């Protein structure tokens, strides 16, 4: 396999694993909120999720720039939106409004699942095909 092809395969494998971790953290957040976990526990999970998402989005955005990817701006807008919502949720949790977050967390799980199935899938195809 050529070095470029190897790089592309590895990039997609890494991204798949990162999506899995991101979804697991979000699922953990949903379950914690639904189980009435303490604000401290919820804060820890949201913080982990935000930190992980920031790092993951940064690597995806770097890959898009390296590939001169045509859907970069819209894709990045999605990432910005996700981080804004997660940061708002963290603030609401700290403000003692954790009870309001159950539906937001489920909505976010839906949004990110959709993002992975559409924009991230398109990017993975673009990388895999060396477009």
CA distance linking residue 128 with residue 29, whole number of Å: 32
Measured from the CB atom, the residue of 6 and 71 that comes closer to Fe ion is 71
Residue 58 CA from chain centroid, whole number: 10
Measured from the CB atom, the residue of 32 and 119 that comes closer to Fe ion is 119
x/- contact string, 106-125, with Fe ion (CB under 5 A)?
--------------x-----
CB of 99 to Fe ion, least distance (A): 30
CB of 66 to Fe ion, least distance (A): 15
- Matching residue, tokens 């639904």: 34
What residues between 40 and 79 interact with Fe ion by CB under 5 A? 60
Check: CB of residue 63 under 8 Å from CB of residue 123.
Answer: yes
Measured from the CB atom, the residue of 89 and 120 that comes closer to Fe ion is 120
CB of 115 to Fe ion, least distance (A): 6
CB of 93 to Fe ion, least distance (A): 24
Q: What are all long-range contacts of 80-84, with beta carbons under 8 Å and residues at least 24 apart?
A: 81/111, 82/53, 82/57, 82/108, 82/111, 82/112, 82/115, 83/50, 83/53, 83/54, 83/57
Measured from the CB atom, the residue of 102 and 122 that comes closer to Fe ion is 122
CA distance linking residue 84 with residue 93, whole number of Å: 14
Question: What is the binding site for Fe ion (CB under 5 A)?
Answer: 60, 120
């Amino acid at each position: 396999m050529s070095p470029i092809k190897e790089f592309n395969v590895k990039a997609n494998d890494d991204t798949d694993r990162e999506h899995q971790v991101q979804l697991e953290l979000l699922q953990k957040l949903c379950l914690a909120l639904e189980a009435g976990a303490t604000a401290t526990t919820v804060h820890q999970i949201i913080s982990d999720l935000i930190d992980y998402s920031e790092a993951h989005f940064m690597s995806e955005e770097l890959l898009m720039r390296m590939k001169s990817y045509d859907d970069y701006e819209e894709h990045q807008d999605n990432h910005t939106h996700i981080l804004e919502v997660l940061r708002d949720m963290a603030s609401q949790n700290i403000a003692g409004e954790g009870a309001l977050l159950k539906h937001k967390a489920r909505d976010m799980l839906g949004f990110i699942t959709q993002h992975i199935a559409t924009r991230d899938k398109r990017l993975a195809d673009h990388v895999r095909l060396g477009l």
